[in-house]
Structures are given as structure tokens and as C-alpha cells.
Structure 1
Amino acid sequence: MSQKERINLEDDYDRWQWTCPNGHHDWEPTNHHFWCAACARIPEVDASFDELRDQKTGRLYERDDVELHTPAGPYDSDLDGRGSA
């Protein structure tokens, strides 16, 4: 298993490093995928997506290639491979 990219959802720096595939920063995790408020305001764009873009590298990461963390533990413990706190 390859190393997952860790994203701390409460850390502003981490949040701004990652964008939706269209380059927006106002994405949120939901039900094992992501949703973007900016994309939702564009009629022709689907606001739900399965990849995040790392602004440092430009690379897209699938949902199961990232670990989303909150102060209580992993956001999706079944995807992240361990239980939450």
C-alpha cells in the first residue's frame, strides 16, 4: 500500500494547498467524495467530484489516496484504514 497524502481539515494552510479539479478552494468532504460550493454555483458543472488537486505539484489525488483528519481523528475511518478517536 502506498503512502496516503494527509490533509488536516482544520488547518488553513492544508486546506489552501488542495483544490477541487476546477481550482476552487471551497471544497468539503462528504460521503466518500467531495463537494465544491463554487462549482455548485455554475450551472454546467457537477459540484461533486472524487479527486483533489495538490497545488504544490498540480497532481490529482483520488479520494482513497488521501487521509482527511479532524481533531477527533480520521474523517472517513473506513477509507483511511483505522477507526476514529
Structure 2
Amino acid sequence: MSADEKKTVRIEDENDRWRFTCPRGHRDWEPTNHHFWCATCARAETVDGVFHELLDQRTDELYARDEVQLLTPVGPYDRDLDYRETKA
């Protein structure tokens, strides 16, 4: 999947934060080390805060980290991951 085919998620956009959640439906997730981390899940005793797929609340689809391009106001969040994907 090329960068052009990836689902774009603007991580600092309020609408995208409401639309894309951790698999348990929490909106306080952050990208980290080519996966994701959810603060609410991390506070639970029986749930790991690390997860690998974002849930699209609109379509109920799950997107793996390599299927999304995370954007910040200054550009892609993980340029190396996005670059590596386009070179494959």
C-alpha cells in the first residue's frame, strides 16, 4: 500500500480524534514507535495500553499502523515509516 492509498489521520484535528479511536473506543491515544498507545487502556489493570490498529468509528473498520498516514500541522508524523512503505 503506497502513501497515496493510506487512510489519512490528522492527529491534532478534533474531528479525526473523535472519528479514529483505539479498538476499545478511547480517544486519548498517541502514536509511538510505529504503533499506538492509549492512556485510558493503560490505566486499566487488565489491558495493555499498546495497540496496533485504529478503529474508524464511522465505518467500524480497523486500520493497521502501516495502513494510515498520520499527519501533523508540519507534515507526516512517521516520515521513515511512510517513506519505507513507498519504496517497497
TM-score (norm 2): 0.87
SS in 2 for 1:78: helix
Choose from 23, 39, 42 the match for 1:40.
42
Structure 1 portions without partners, runs of 5+: none
Moved beyond 2 Å, runs of 4+ = none
Q: Which amino acid aligns with 2:26?
A: H
1:10 alignment partner, one of 9, 12, 22: 12
1:72 Cα deviation from its structure 2 partner:
1.3
What are structure 2's unaligned runs of at least 5 residues?
none
The equivalent of 1:19 in structure 2 is 21
Higher relative contact order (CA 8 A, sep 6+): 2
Equivalent residue for 1:31? 33
Task: Give the TM-score normalised by structure 1.
Answer: 0.90
Give 1:28 deviation, angstroms.
0.5
Aligned with residue 71 of structure 1, among 70, 73, 81: 73
The structure richer in helix per residue is 2
Percent identity over the alignment?
63
Amino acid of the residue matched to residue 28 of structure 1? E
Aligned-pair CA distance for 1:81: 2.2
- The SS at the match of 1:6 is strand
